[in-house]
């Protein structure tokens, strides 16, 4: 009989063996690359033999698939949850930015693995991840278009990709403590997404005519 609860956590909320293995694999994949890590390395990181890993996963490929599909699902569901029942589109956009910044700062290994090893996924997993990614970007696009009626859908999508790329660069560029880095990324993202809107609002307050 296992000590794991139905939700996958151990009794008292302890991390399950599967979660331990995925966490260890993410750190190793981020450090050495997917192809530079063997099952013995992953097993050793959590104190089991490599072959014992097969009790939990079919193999290394399955681990990578669950890892990247899992983070894509988390981002999509989290993004949707943060944009419903918000008082206005700007608040929804603020919530989206805060969500992705928090995710990037607390999951740097997963961000690194996703950016570098996505092409190592088996085709069905890669297709699923791409599908989830498109859904997540569309949450950003829909929210941004509500904030910026001056933007085309094409420009809104390009803007969303650019800001997500900025935030996702954090594992490679963070030089501040997490709180200050979070504030910096949030401010930069919001300024980038709303810069023309804010310029128009400032000009309107000063009585500057719109010459476009």
Per-residue pLDDT tens digits for 104-137: 999 999 999 999 999 999 999 999 999 999 999 9
Write the DSSP assignment of 21-69 as a string of letters. HHHHHHHHHHHH-GGG--HHHHHHHTTS-TGGGGGT-S-HHHHHHHHHH
3-state secondary structure of 208: coil
Instruction: State residue 85's pLDDT score.
Output: 87
Please state the pTM of the whole predicted model.
0.82
Counting Cβ atoms within 10 Å, is residue 103 exposed (0-12), middle (13-18) or buried (19+)? buried
pLDDT of 33 > 50? The answer is yes
Residues in the chain: 212
Instruction: State residue 204's pLDDT score.
Output: 37
User: Residues of the chain with pLDDT > 70: what percent?
Assistant: 83
Return d(Cα 156, Cα 88) in angstroms, integer.
18
Instruction: State residue 16's pLDDT score.
Output: 87
């Amino acid at each position: 009989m296992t000590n794991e609860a139905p939700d996958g956590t151990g009794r008292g909320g302890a991390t399950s063996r599967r979660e331990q293995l995925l966490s260890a694999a993410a750190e190793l994949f981020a450090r050495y690359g997917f192809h530079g890590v063997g099952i013995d390395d992953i097993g050793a990181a959590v104190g089991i033999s490599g072959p014992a890993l097969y009790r939990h996963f079919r193999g290394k490929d399955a681990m990578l698939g669950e890892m990247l599909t899992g983070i894509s699902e988390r981002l999509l569901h989290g993004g949707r949850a943060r944009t419903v029942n918000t008082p206005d589109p700007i608040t929804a956009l603020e919530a989206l930015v805060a969500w992705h910044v928090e995710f990037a700062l607390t999951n740097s290994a997963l961000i690194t693995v996703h950016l570098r090893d996505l092409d190592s996924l088996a085709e069905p997993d890669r297709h699923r991840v791409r599908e989830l990614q498109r859904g997540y970007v569309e949450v950003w696009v829909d929210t941004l278009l509500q904030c910026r009626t001056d933007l085309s859908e094409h420009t809104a999508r390009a803007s969303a990709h650019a800001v997500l790329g900025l935030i996702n660069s954090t594992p490679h560029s963070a030089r501040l403590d997490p709180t200050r880095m979070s504030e910096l990324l949030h401010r930069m993202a919001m300024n980038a997404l709303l810069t023309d809107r804010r310029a128009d609002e400032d000009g309107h307050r000063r009585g500057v005519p719109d010459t476009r």
